[in-house]
Amino acid sequence: MAKFERKDKKELQAISTASLPDIVFMLLFFFMVSTSMRDTSLMVSNKLPEATEVNKLEKKSLVSYIYIGPPLKQFQTLFGTEPRIQLNDSFKGLDDIRDFIASEREALKEEEKPLLTTSLKIDKDTRMGVVTDVKQELRKASALKIVYAARKAAK
Amino acid sequence: MARKIPEVNASSTADIAFLLLIFFLMTSTMNVDTGLTRMLPPMPDPKQKQEDIEVKRRNIFTVLINKSDRLLVRGEPMEVSMLKEKTKEFIVNPNNDPNLSEFEEKDIPLIGKYRVSKGVVSLQNDRGTSYDMYMKVQNELVAAYNDLRNELSTSMFGRPFNKLDKKEQEAISKAIPLKISEAEPKNVGGK
């Protein structure tokens, strides 16, 4: 006859946490693969406009960024509230764009130099005056391939 | 005498992994870069004499945006919502309207003879135009071209444009070239 043995139930067994590191590592790898490192810290507020017809930027190494927008709160005492241009990690003027493009181009391989793309990340409240000036500078620097950065809107 | 090797305590691996996870969460961004790709026209050579390329009036589709974000399309005020349809009508010109764009018969690989539109969309803006509006208009114009390309590619290859392979995409792009010119800056109506 089968005999049912009652286990000692006085003490609750602790939940094993041996798999916890594995779970966290899985999360970690997911984020490492799906994200990219932040290379600049934004100093301007940057609400991008929405567009439906956007396409993805393919090669990130070929892209250099120009940020335009009103400075963030902590910089407003120094730089005012008018939209300004940020290159790399500092506010720059229009004249610096050519040097910026030149140095970005220098960093690329010889065969990739003509493929340099400039992504214009422009706050949507900016007036076109600044944008037009920047575009003229880019034409002078013959960085003709540009991307107007925009968020993908639902159709 | 066989000694029992004590097991390494692994309970802190979780903490270490958490630390790493939080570090990566803080320092990385997830956003994929998207946007509208455009080619700027090269700067004209100052030594060379400016030669205006003659474009017939019927082949230009002027879109003006003024500083209060109003649209003027071929001399008539218009809402943004209408722009896409009007642009498409201008490029396709189904009824051979003498006011809309002209055509040129071209032999295109994979498609054959196709009447390629000579129409150019010219986008002009004021310095006071808001970037948001500018992007909306740009988006509508690109949407018009994309729609036409999709229509052609579904009728030719039975698939939308972005599902085609490289060669087919090239053929379609030749049949319907994206011609949006961002004119030289002008001050329309002062600051």
Domains of chain A are 50-152 (3.30.420.270)
* A44-72: average pLDDT: 85
Q: Decide if A45 contacts A81 (C-beta within 8 A).
A: no
CB distance B14–A147 less than 8 Å?
no
Tally of CB atoms within 10 A around A83: 21
| C-alpha distances out from residue A145 to A148, B23, B32, Å | 10, 35, 19
Per-residue pLDDT at A2:
65
Q: Give this prediction's pTM.
A: 0.77
Q: Is the pLDDT of residue B37 over 80?
A: yes
Q: Strands, DSSP E only, in chain A?
A: 36-37, 50-51, 55-56, 63-69, 84-87, 90-92, 117-122, 145-149, 151-152
Three-state DSSP at B137 gives helix
Q: What is the pLDDT confidence band of residue B31, given thresholds at 50, 70 and 90? A: low
B-proximal residues of A, 79-118, CB under 8 Å: 117
Instruction: Pick the more confident residue, B22 or B3.
Output: B22
Please spell the DSSP secondary structure of A94-125, one letter per residue: TTHHHHHHHHHHHTS-GGGGGG-EEEEEE-TT
B-proximal residues of A, 20-79, CB under 8 Å: 20-21, 24-25, 27-28, 31-32, 34-38, 49-57, 60, 63
Q: Decide if B32 contacts A63 (C-beta within 8 A).
A: no
Q: Decide if A47 contacts A124 (C-beta within 8 A).
A: yes
Q: What is the pLDDT confidence band of residue B93, given thresholds at 50, 70 and 90? A: confident
CB distance B135–A150 less than 8 Å?
yes
Per-residue pLDDT at A8:
59
User: What ipTM was reported for this prediction?
Assistant: 0.75
For A9-33, letters b (16+ CB in 10 Å) and e give eeeeeeeeeeebbeebbebbeebee
CB distance B27–A38 less than 8 Å?
yes
CA gap B59, A55 in Å, rounded: 28
What tens digit of pLDDT does each residue of B124-183 get?
A: 888 888 888 888 888 888 888 888 888 888 888 888 888 888 888 888 888 888 888 887
Q: Decide if A36 contacts B28 (C-beta within 8 A).
A: yes
CA gap B10, A18 in Å, rounded: 8
Q: Strands, DSSP E only, in chain B?
A: 28-29, 34-39, 60-65, 71-73, 76-78, 103-108, 112-117, 120-125, 180-182
A-proximal residues of B, 114-173, CB under 8 Å: 125-132, 134-136, 138-139, 142-143, 146
Q: What is the pLDDT confidence band of residue B51, given thresholds at 50, 70 and 90? A: low
